[in-house]
A and B are shown apart, each in its own frame.
Chain A
Amino acid sequence: MNVMIHRFLTVGVLATWATVLCYLSFSGRLSSYLHPTFQPLATACGIALGILAILVLFSPREVMAGAGCEPGAPRSTISTLAFAFVLVIPLLVTLAFSKGEFSASTVLNRGYVESLENVVAPVVEPAAESVPRDETVVGAPLPGENGEVDYGLVEEMPPPEIIDLLYAAQLPEMRDGLEGEEFEFIGQYMPLTDGPSQGNRFRLVRMMVVCCAADAQPVAVTVEANQSPKFAEMSWIKVRGIPSFPMVDGQTRPLLKATSVEKTDPPEDVFLY
């Protein structure tokens, strides 16, 4: 009887994990948790766990009896149930409560990344002659042979992201291609509670991930609007604006001068990679 309970609980646990991983993978929700590099591994893991669940279900009785006698394995029905409980309940509860994006609480705890030196990614040397642009940077094209970047001529390029403004603050050749032009940025709204807020400034934030959401860092630029915006913290907004790069405390920092700010839906990938 104990062997049968052990078998069915094992199958139940493996099948639950397999179902969760496969559901998240095939519904596209896995991107809320993992960097694209790790997503195929998690998908493969879900499929492998599903196969293991089937194998355990149909395994010869003596095999499961042998496994149950292993030192350290649960022996009594109660400990087997407790094991299964710990293996399944935290997974399902956290899955039910996880919103797929962080709240202001974690953003404030992690602190804003507002300059390239603090970006969690292989950084480009600001003083580099040629710019080996990192593949994690979204949007900005490589400078041409004369070192200039013309976004208007590169129609197939995706629009610049917040992170590109941080790069441009360090790279004069990128800055020249952005300054004075109007671009559209999508990010999350956070009020400016430090520095020169002047009532009409706020932060536009995107969470940047290296391997999983646990290491996400809030990359932010300051936005200057015509009037004080009224949005809930971390709500998704679309900002049209003209990037500028004033000197703040002896460092070049990006400042986005907004021409329009409006609420929008979250993008397909809530994280930057």
Chain B
Amino acid sequence: MDEVFRFSFPDFSLSFLSILFEGLPFLLLGTLLSGLIDQFLPARMMTRLLPRNAYAGIAVSGMLGAVFPMCECGVVPVIRRLMAKGLPVSNAITYMLAAPIVNPIVALSTYAAFQGQQPLRVTIVRLALGWLVAVIVGCVVHRLSTGAILRKAVVAEIMQPSGTTTGASGVIAMRLWRAMAVAVGDFLNMTIYFILGAAAAAVFNTAVNQSVIDPLASSDWLATASLMGLAAILCLCSTSDAFVAATFTSFPLVAKLGFLVFGPMVDIKLLFMYSSVFRPKFLVGLVVALFVVILLICVRLDVVLNPPLLPLP
């Protein structure tokens, strides 16, 4: 019997740093954008651009990633600022969950990674499933009160009369200075959570024997649940996770889809980053709901992915 846990600090350090260095540019990009949103996006503009019907607005928010692509590391500070600018919480959460999947870069990488494994079908199903799950969550969140979802500090941020944290007024130069200060503040705050998440991921990544999950590949339910769990542990970037998913050859395709949809929405580092915005109770509910919804949909997708009579692309 192989050892289940072997820890090497140099290996942990290598894995930890590589996760940080890979995600940090995207995090910086997201926070720079959040600073600009804070100072230059007129309050309520987002609300005016979206359909008036709340549910139609949620559905559109789920597709905004196609226009404003964001990976999961950068999207958290952005939605925080968008909420401060009047974007409803349900729309913001829908965008947060969908944008790392429903975007052109992820579509291309998924198609490339699954060459020889129904690439077109997997890509379409991944994007559609990411959008659907985000919209379902957005519709449920729409019925909850803001206080039940967001941390008090974030609610206070949203409730400021101007809709900004530092006041979007004054000459352009001063607003740029303020945008920079907001971006730096957001960057440092989010990096704390990113460091904690990367450390947790690096421990699992280097110290846990990954052969322990192999026996789980025997059933669709177990295989999908275990690959979703693995996605949460590995903390891969949504732009490249498909290359890893494509290699789980002993696992059914539905399990790989669970990996590809759940991973960009929930992983260890994201949990730490989400906790800077959401209340712990809501966060637990969100993670459990995402896990259950994605698992239930994925194991039923076998009919779509392996239809007995349709030719495969």
Contact = CB atoms under 8 A, between A and B. Distances in A.
Nearest to A37: B240
A33 B21 contact: yes
Contacts of A87: 188, 191-192, 195
Contact of A45 (B18, B24, B181, B199): B24
B189 A120 contact: no
A9 to B, nearest CB: 9
Contact of B240 (A55, A118, A119, A210): A210
The majority secondary structure among interface residues of chain A is helix
Nearest to B27: A45
A11 to B, nearest CB: 10
A91 B234 contact: no
Contact of B13 (A24, A94, A210): A94
A95 B247 contact: no
B205 interface: yes
Contact of B28 (A48, A56, A110, A123): A48
B206 A55 contact: no
Interface stretch (B52-60, B109-117, B132-140, B256-264): B109-117
B178 A63 contact: yes
Interface stretch (A139-147, A177-185, A212-220, A221-229): A212-220
B166 A118 contact: no
A103 B6 CA distance: 11
Contacts of A63: 174, 177-178, 180-181
Given A34-B21, A70-B166, A122-B246, A90 B199 contact: yes
B112 A67 contact: no
B240 A108 contact: no
B209 A102 contact: no
Interface in B243-273: 243-244, 246-247, 249
Interface stretch (B61-69, B85-93, B150-158, B299-307): B150-158
Interface residues of A, number: 67
Given A94-B13, A122-B112, A108 B234 contact: no
A247 interface: no
Nearest to A66: B166
Nearest to B183: A52
B22 A34 contact: yes
B121 to A, nearest CB: 16
Given A94-B13, A101-B14, A109-B207, A42 B7 contact: no
- Contact residues on B (Cβ < 8 Å of other chain), bracket: 35 or more
B172 to A, nearest CB: 14
Interface string B42-54: 0000000000000
A71 B157 contact: yes
B180 A52 contact: yes
A69 B76 CA distance: 20
B177 A60 contact: yes
Interface string A83-95: 1001100110111
B206 A105 contact: yes
A98 B17 contact: yes
A67 B166 contact: yes
Contacts of A105: 6-8, 11, 206-207
B28 A10 contact: no
Contacts of B17: 33, 91, 94-95, 98, 213
Interface in A29-69: 30, 32-34, 38, 41-42, 44-45, 48-49, 52, 55-56, 59-60, 63-64, 66-67
A148 interface: no
A213 B18 contact: yes
A124 B112 CA distance: 11
A99 interface: yes
Nearest to B207: A109
Interface string B10-42: 111111111111101110100010000000000
Interface in B169-212: 174, 177-178, 180-185, 188-189, 191-192, 195, 199, 201-202, 205-211
A99 B8 CA distance: 11
A83 B192 contact: yes
Contacts of A33: 14, 17-18, 21-22
B94 interface: no
A106 interface: yes
A163 to B, nearest CB: 13
A63 B181 CA distance: 7
B152 to A, nearest CB: 8
Contacts of B236: 211, 215
B165 interface: yes
Contacts of B25: 38, 41-42, 44-45
A154 interface: no
Contacts of A211: 22, 236-237, 239-240, 243
A26 interface: no
18 contacts: A10-B184, A21-B21, A30-B21, A42-B24, A42-B25, A59-B180, A67-B182, A87-B195, A94-B17, A97-B10, A98-B10, A103-B11, A122-B246, A123-B246, A211-B243, A212-B22, A214-B18, A215-B244
8 closest Cβ contacts across the A-B interface?
A94-B13, A67-B181, A98-B13, A212-B18, A213-B18, A45-B25, A71-B153, A41-B25
Given A48-B32, A67-B184, A83-B188, 7 more contacts: A59-B181, A70-B182, A87-B192, A100-B14, A102-B206, A108-B3, A213-B18
